[in-house]
Structure 1
Amino acid sequence: MQIPIKRAIERVPGGMMVVPLLLGAILNTFFPGTPKFFGSFTGALFAGGMPILAAFFICMGASIDIKATPYVLKKGGSLFATKIIIGAVFGVILGHFLGEAPIQGGLFGGLSTLAVVAAMNDTNGGLYCALMGQYGRSRDVGAYSIMSLESGPFLTMTTLGLAGLSSFPWQTMLGAILPLLIGMAIGNLDREMRLFLGKIAPGLIPFFAFGLGAGLDLSKVWSAGLLGLGVGVAVVAITGLALFFVDRATGGTGVAGVAASSTAGNAAAVPAIIAGANPAYAEAAQSATILVAAAVVVTAILVPLVTSFVASKFGTMTDDDDETAAETDTVPVHP
């Protein structure tokens, strides 16, 4: 007897990412002691999101043709710049009216400049790569090597006018793209390794998704209420619309743009780091952490749905399209 598990999961937009991520989040929320109770390899699955994601980047890097590097710089750079500009614009506007403190009461009580900027600045790289693996091209995945520069508090500090409080962690930034570069080197030196590692990448998606989900607490979404939901929806709507047009302007269908309109899980740690660097944000940090955590979960659910819709309306591009385009100087779009 056969149960169509894979088909059932793939019926959910971005299902290979979303379903394991939600499973991990549910277990972490309702059974937080599970990894400690079982320990060993089972416990490692709950905390293994980042190591598996690193292996995923190597495999995906191997599938990228070095000739696509200019495209990676153009695509990744344009999406990266768009997210930063949007965060900066909202930082300036909200900072003018709210300053560092959060709104004290009412429907928007707890909302702050810090919460909005932190939620908008950082893209969920695992979700983006998983969606591009399903709806895009390997070189679209490679664009995240540029977008990974969003990670951490540096750009949020810069946006808030606090760049002088910390030095640029170049080692961390290099470490974020090094696995992808290693994979690209291996894949371009040996075509057989490119094929071998390229086939492995899709199979790693549910495993790192589960590990990332195991770091989320769904109760934070509940405590954030409608405001947390609103922040998540606003991040997708505002950044997604801008990124959609930027992606199309740089030769894409818009799919990569909306796939990048999420909030990274590590963004939830940014408010506390900012408050530690500047006590002026201490009051806003606690509510900002809850709102950003809510945005992480909301965007992780919403972005695959929006990406699937955009792919169905505007088409997707595959690696085969790149080969055809090289011969005809046009890039066909398949529905």
Structure 2
Amino acid sequence: MRVKRAIENVPGGMMIVPLVLGAVITTLAPRTAAFFGSFTGALFTGALPILAVFYVCMGSTISVRSLPEVVRRGGALMGTKIVLGILAGLLLGHLIGVQPIHGGWFAGVSTLAVVAAVNDTNGGLYMALMSQYGSSEEAASYSVMALESGPFFTMITLGVAGLSSFPWQTLLGAILPLAIGMILGNLDSELRDYLGSAAPVMIPFFAFALGATLDLRRVWEAGLLGVALGIAIILVTGTLLILIDRLIGGKGTAGIAAATTAGNAAAVPALVAAANHRYAEAAGPATVLVASSVIVTAFLVPPLTAWWDRRTRGGPSGNPPLPAVEEAL
């Protein structure tokens, strides 16, 4: 059986197939990880440790001379999403204010829900897609974009007073595995080859763990409104991110790959409401809508990224899972 070839025939298959499998198992049997425990349970809950190792291996392929490019690319994409979040906050804040819409087709929509869905990028998905369709520098640029994670920028966007600090430990922790990998790879070319070759192997494993955090029933709860939010995130942010990516020398592939909502964004509405009780009424429906956007964008962005890659290359999609060391240099 040619299982690997069958998976790779699916756009973004090494990411999306394990992701869907994890989501289906979690939806149908949500206590699977707790029931088996041990190593099996760790496969369902270990996305962050696997991503940490992935960062080290990815970092080993990056030359020190490419650092300015990593910062430039990541900063441009992150800045675009933050600006879009601020614009959405200003527009919706003026139109509907703090409270959610209470009736009609858009019942439950709030400024909080839209801003939280826009601000945070699905880093695991972005890095996996860039490992297959982009460059190591593009994948590593998420170390800059990781600053979006959590409620910080959402709180800033919504104008919550007194919450402007960001722990230096969190900032350092977001880039430390990548930095360690870069140091090791630049000190020893053999170690760079050894670690770099391991990165593609980890993609399906952290994809499965990320999928295991997604309950497909959330889409049903949010209904068409949640699906519409996810599609709108892709269309609006994806269009602008493609333009920005092309302006800074990319093909636009990184722009599409970044047009997602991160899984941890579903926790942002509750965190914002805890910090400012004015958002308490909006937090519940916002959580459902954001969770739906997470799922919709996670499923739609990989095939869209593969399609865009084919379009810009004019041939079969997909790079080797990891760019050659010579390309990274």
TM range (shorter): over 0.9
Shift of 1:165: 3.1
Q: How many Å separate the matches in 2 of 1:275 and 1:202?
A: 39
Return the TM-score normalized by structure 2. Answer: 0.95
C-alpha distance 271-69 of structure 1, shift in aligned 2 (>3 A): same
Q: How many Å separate the matches in 2 of 1:85 and 1:294?
A: 23
Work out whether residues 154 and 163 of structure 1, in 8 Å CA contact, stay in contact via their aligned partners in 2: no
1:99 to 97, 109, 112: 97
Corresponding residue for residue 147 of structure 1: 145
Q: How many Å separate the matches in 2 of 1:208 and 1:219?
A: 22
Q: How many Å separate the matches in 2 of 1:33 and 1:274?
A: 29
Query: Greater CA deviation, 315-324 or 30-39?
Result: 315-324
1:158 to 144, 152, 156: 156
Q: How many Å separate the matches in 2 of 1:85 and 1:139?
A: 23
Runs (4+) of structure 1 exceeding 3 A deviation are 316-324
Shift of 1:322: 7.5
Q: How many Å separate the matches in 1 of 2:238 and 2:228?
A: 15
Q: How many Å separate the matches in 1 of 2:289 and 2:61?
A: 37
Corresponding residue for residue 76 of structure 1: 74
Corresponding residue for residue 210 of structure 2: 212
Cα distance per residue 1:224-246 (max 9 Å; x no partner): 01000000000010000000010
Matched position secondary structure for 1:164: coil
Corresponding residue for residue 310 of structure 2: 312
Shift of 1:170: 2.3
Gaps of 5+ in 1: 327-335
Identity of aligned pairs, percent?
A: 59
Work out whether residues 156 and 163 of structure 2, in 8 Å CA contact, stay in contact via their aligned partners in 1: no
C-alpha distance 95-322 of structure 1, shift in aligned 2 (>3 A): farther
Work out whether residues 98 and 112 of structure 1, in 8 Å CA contact, stay in contact via their aligned partners in 2: yes
Mapping of 1:188-203 within 5 angstroms? 188-203=186-201
2:31 to 22, 30, 33: 33
Q: How many Å separate the matches in 2 of 1:84 and 1:14?
A: 26
Corresponding residue for residue 264 of structure 2: 266
Work out whether residues 45 and 211 of structure 1, in 8 Å CA contact, stay in contact via their aligned partners in 2: yes
Shift of 1:317: 7.8
C-alpha distance 9-144 of structure 1, shift in aligned 2 (>3 A): same
Cα distance per residue 1:145-164 (max 9 Å; x no partner): 11011001000000101152
Corresponding residue for residue 252 of structure 2: 254
Matched position secondary structure for 2:162: helix
Q: How many Å separate the matches in 2 of 1:121 and 1:23?
A: 27
Return the TM-score normalized by structure 1. Answer: 0.93
Aligned amino acid, residue 37 of structure 1 = F
C-alpha distance 40-256 of structure 1, shift in aligned 2 (>3 A): same
Q: How many Å separate the matches in 2 of 1:30 and 1:320?
A: 40
Shift of 1:282: 0.4
Gaps of 5+ in 2: none
Mapping of 1:1-335 within 5 angstroms? 3-165=1-163, 167-315=165-313, 319=323, 323=327
Aligned CA-pair RMSD? 1.6
Cα distance per residue 1:208-256 (max 9 Å; x no partner): 1111111111101111010000000000100000000100000111001
Cα distance per residue 1:178-197 (max 9 Å; x no partner): 11111111111111111101
Q: How many Å separate the matches in 1 of 2:238 and 2:47?
A: 25
Shift of 1:287: 0.5
Q: How many Å separate the matches in 2 of 1:321 and 1:17?
A: 23
Cα distance per residue 1:289-309 (max 9 Å; x no partner): 000000000000111111111
Matched position secondary structure for 1:165: coil
Aligned amino acid, residue 301 of structure 2 = V
Work out whether residues 253 and 317 of structure 1, in 8 Å CA contact, stay in contact via their aligned partners in 2: no
Shift of 1:116: 0.3
Q: How many Å separate the matches in 2 of 1:134 and 1:308?
A: 9
Shift of 1:38: 1.0
Q: How many Å separate the matches in 2 of 1:193 and 1:139?
A: 18
Work out whether residues 101 and 108 of structure 2, in 8 Å CA contact, stay in contact via their aligned partners in 1: yes
Query: Greater CA deviation, 233-242 or 307-316?
Result: 307-316
